[in-house]
Structure 1
């Protein structure tokens, strides 16, 4: 992977209009649209102030490749926000938004660098391995959707025609990650693209900048949710048997809000409950057709009995350890007596509820 260090004038550097970090709606357009997006979404003003005050840090080279369509020009594969910042420091008229802020920053800037340190690579593909380590497993992590787009580009360029499972294993070795994580990211992106293709099911406010890909990626860790959506990791094409109806339903449950709240949260607790609900016919019908909340539907799965027993077991284990430690404690903490009284009250409350349940059919 050969590269050449050079300083290149910003007039010869072009933003990457197919940058995987850009939302799909912004890709393949022109530099003006990218500059607008960078100003509105990517904290570019703050970066401009930092460069204007401290100059451009030589250790932050842009990674570039020669532009095949225009001799003497280079496309920035890595460092588009930095390039946007220095371009605007030299020419704030490039922007159609944030004009007052740009005017102020330019007036106060001590430095307006024009020759930027770059590493020039022969091909864009030569940079992909480095970016994978740096932004997926390294210290400068991308958003999940950006990671997935990058990995998909890498798969298409480096492992085209390779079995899906093998490609995931090869990519994992290349960037220092796990194959199961790569598999879920790529499959999650496929699901996301289907949702995107359906116009996000016309869910109010949902678009490519508001979508949480981690909901799909985390859900794919749960067998019942995989089955519900129609994903099979044993197949070379995991989504070949996709259930479009259920994909639409689960997207609505996660993202459509009533009074500011979705029906199911996409966090670990929410996914755990939803995984149990979709595996139980009665609970799923109550939730999807009869208006039950996720908690009410979860109660119908019988899982609550298991969780109750687990919590009692954990509490008993913790109290047993506390009992062992008590013989070695030098100074019992203030408030311990009140805590022990509370524990006793909770235990009695549970016992009394059990007795009520056992005697509820007693007519006397």
Structure 2
């Protein structure tokens, strides 16, 4: 067989790729096509693809990329979502997910292809070399985790013939990217796999719930890399990983009910917090990322920031009074608490930084001692 050739193959002879990076970890290596199709229907917008194929037929311009297995079977390395759509058009009972929608699409389909154009490659490695550019920087962009998994597959293939210190430069050239990005992506995958091995540290989440790109972004900040104990070298290694700190980072970023990072821009705030022990302590004790961030400044700056934030929130509360239809039951109690806090803060500032409190202290002592005060009055009278 030549390096590659284009032929038409019947659907029954096409198999899903058990190493498909689009599949979550729990389905990696799974050969049960029903489970794969169920996942594709849930998360791969397969019904929309079925509608398109059923209405216009299958385009010759988008052949599946396959490698041969055995005498007449082929593994689809590229095009698994299209394969799922085609198989469901021919047999809607392959899934138990969204049955009504699937049956509706099948009943209205004008075209139900039983065979599909494919390009047969000599080896999986040949397909991967092509897909590296196509999916990571090309026209069909993948998610960060999918990119990382394909990069890892490329890494495992080319590390056999490439020196360690040059592997990321080579991979970067293959996919049209930068070597530092490839390195971070591969390191982030190792971190993700660590969390996966630890069952996400007890978090009740699935792979689909994790924004993998956040891990890559986080590794771009010196504070977080240092906090994790990861130092850049020729090969991403977790040998020096501070796993207790990684568990905290993972919790703050992804753990339902415990996460403090709500959007990607806050990762830079988290990185800053990791460089200040007092700010870290506040975060560990349950403060929000905004509150902990206040402790990354000098104490006086943090104090002023807190007062400014409180002032702004009180101003917003004042402006919201006219929107009320009745007095909130807790309002008076909260206002009284705020007044007490203000007196305490004001008193503390006066006590600690007043010009001279000695006279004030003396008068307070005299006021609490009537006998001494009476004697003082007699002396003053004389």
Number of the residue aligned with 2:29? 28
- Contact map agreement 2:186 2:236 (CA 8 A) in 1: no
Which residue does the alignment assign to 2:260?
Answer: 263
* Structure number with bigger Rg: 2
Whole-Å separation in 2 of the counterparts to 1:14 and 1:293: 48
Distance verdict in 2 for CA 1:96–1:291, change over 3 Å: closer
The equivalent of 2:43 in structure 1 is 41
Does the 8 Å contact 1:164/1:237 carry over to 2?
no
Superposition pairs of residues 1-364 of structure 1, within 5 angstroms: 2-29=3-30, 30-67=32-69, 70-160=70-160, 162-204=162-204, 206-234=205-233, 236-258=235-257, 262-268=259-265, 270-288=266-284, 290-302=285-297, 361-362=353-354
Contact between 1:61 and 1:116, CA under 8 Å: does it hold in 2? yes
Question: How far has the Cα of 1:162 moved from its partner?
Answer: 4.5
In 1: Cα distance, 2:119 partner to 2:298 partner: 56
Cα displacement string for residues 128-165 of structure 1 (whole angstroms, at most 9, x for unaligned residues): 12111111001111111111111001100122374554
CA distance in 2, matches of 1:8, 1:283: 61
Cα deviation per residue 1:194-222 (whole Å; 9 max; x = unaligned)?
A: 00000001113x22121111111001111
The separation in 1 between residues aligned to 2:3 and 2:221, in whole angstroms, is 43
Write 1 or 2 for the structure with the bigger share of helix.
2
TM-score between the two structures when normalised by the length of structure 1: 0.79
Structure 1 residues 185 and 165: CA distance shift in structure 2, 3 A = farther
Aligned residue pair count:
307
Shift of the 303–196 alpha-carbon distance from structure 1 to 2, 3 Å rule, reads farther
Q: What is the root-mean-square deviation of aligned Cα atoms in Å?
A: 2.3
How far the C-alpha of 1:239 sits from its partner, in A, is 2.2
SS in 1 for 2:84: helix
State whether residues 163 and 236 of structure 1, in contact with CA within 8 Å, keep that contact through their aligned partners in structure 2. Answer: no
Could you tell me which runs of 5 or more consecutive residues in structure 1 were left unpaired when the two chains were aligned: 309-355
User: Given that residues 265 and 271 in structure 1 are in contact (C-alpha distance below 8 angstroms), is that contact kept between their aligned partners in structure 2?
Assistant: no
Q: Which SS does the other structure have where 1:250 is aligned?
A: helix
Q: 1:303 to 1:115 in 2, by over 3 A?
A: farther
| Distance in 2 separating the partners of 1:297 and 1:91 | 55
Residue 348 of structure 1 corresponds to which residue in structure 2?
Answer: none
Gaps of 5+ in 2: 305-345, 357-382
Separation (CA, whole Å) in 1 of partners of 2:36 and 2:10? 19
Report the Cα offset of residue 47 of structure 1.
0.5
Looking at structure 2, the residues matched to 170 and 106 of structure 1 have their Cα atoms a distance apart, in angstroms, of: 46
Cα distance in 2 between the residues matched to 1:266 and 1:164: 35
Deviation at 1:362, TM superposition (A): 4.9
After TM superposition, give the deviation of residue 117 of structure 1 in Å: 0.8
CA shift at 1:125, angstroms? 0.4
SS in 2 for 1:4: strand
